[in-house]
DNA sequence: TCATTAAAGTTAT
DNA sequence: ATAACTTTAATGA
């Protein structure tokens, strides 16, 4: 993420998106750097049969679309607001000149792209398993890796079962059953339908 | 074993 | 009230 002050002085604007509103879509050539101030945004694809695969769910402080600003290529995913979200929009040319003038910003962008790449590797590795528990556990381990508290069941998974299924490429029903099996195996706890890992 | 379909209960808006 | 989410069950690949 880029410091707010830097974004504002570079000429970023703020846009509010409603739940379900599209920010950009697959095939677009992106014109902005996006950074979430508040809210939640998903990056997804729709398969031939219309089923959804969620690439990532992003929240406060996280950016998206960066890597497309270095390439003259069509965007491979859609971005859709899940909640009402306020987002910084920094035009591509201003984004690129900011990177030239600020070494710190440059580093911050490399860091976010590296983190995103790491996430993609983790998800690809786990989602290539045929075992749904491996897929879900891979996702949960990554999410929990950002938490200071490493004790079991201290982290509430911030996703619905539907979202976890769509992030790991399994059906909701399988996700529900796998989560229950994991509860029996004491990998996680369920309280008021929420998953604690 | 898992996806799919259907049906029904639950929660959130 | 209505939509979204969760759960269970039956069936088939």
Model confidence pLDDT, tens digit, residues A132-175: 999 999 999 999 999 999 999 999 999 999 999 999 999 999 99
Using one digit for the tens of pLDDT, what is the confidence trace for A44-100?
A: 999 877 789 999 999 999 999 999 999 999 999 999 999 999 999 999 999 999 999
Mean pLDDT in residue range A31-53: 92
Q: Which nucleotide is nearest to A83 (CA to C1')?
A: B13
Q: For A186, list phi and psi in degrees, rounded to 5.
A: 65, 30
**A94, A10 Cβ separation under 8 angstroms:** yes
Question: What pLDDT is stored for residue A180 in this prediction?
Answer: 92
> Stated in angstroms, how far is A53 CA from C13 C1'?
22
pLDDT at position A40: 95
Which window residues (96-155, chain A) lie with Cβ within 7 Å of strand B?
Answer: 130-132
Q: A29 vs A26, A114, A171, A176, A183, CA distance in Å?
A: 9, 22, 32, 37, 44
- pTM equals 0.93
Q: How far apart are CA A29 and CA A52, in angstroms?
A: 22
What is the mean pLDDT of the segment spanning A107-122? 96
CA distance A65 to A77: 10
CA A101 / C1′ B1 distance in Å? 56
* pLDDT beyond 90 at A193: no
Report chain C positions within 7 A of protein CB atoms.
5-10
- Considering all nucleic acid strands, name the nucleotide whose C1' atom is nearest to the C-alpha of residue A171: B3
CA A194 to C1' B9 (Å) is 17
């Amino acid at each position: 993420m880029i410091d707010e002050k830097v974004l504002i002085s570079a000429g970023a604007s703020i846009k509010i998106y409603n739940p379900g509103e599209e920010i950009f879509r697959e095939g677009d050539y992106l014109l902005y750097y996006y950074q979430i101030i508040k809210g939640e945004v998903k990056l997804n694809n729709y398969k031939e049969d219309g089923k959804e695969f969620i690439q990532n769910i992003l929240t406060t402080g996280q950016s998206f679309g960066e890597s497309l600003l270095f390439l003259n290529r069509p965007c491979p995913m859609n971005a859709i607001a899940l909640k009402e979200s306020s987002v910084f929009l920094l035009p591509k040319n201003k984004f690129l000149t900011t990177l030239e003038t600020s070494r710190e910003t440059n580093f911050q962008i490399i860091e976010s792209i590296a983190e995103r790449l790491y996430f993609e590797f983790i998800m690809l590795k786990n989602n290539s398993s045929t075992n749904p528990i491996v897929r879900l556990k891979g996702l949960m381990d990554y999410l929990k890796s950002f938490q200071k508290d490493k004790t079991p069941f201290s982290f509430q998974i911030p996703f619905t079962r539907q979202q976890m299924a769509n992030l790991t490429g399994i059906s909701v029903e399988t996700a529900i059953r796998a989560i229950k099996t994991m509860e029996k195996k004491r990998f996680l706890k369920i309280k008021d339908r929420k998953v604690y890992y």
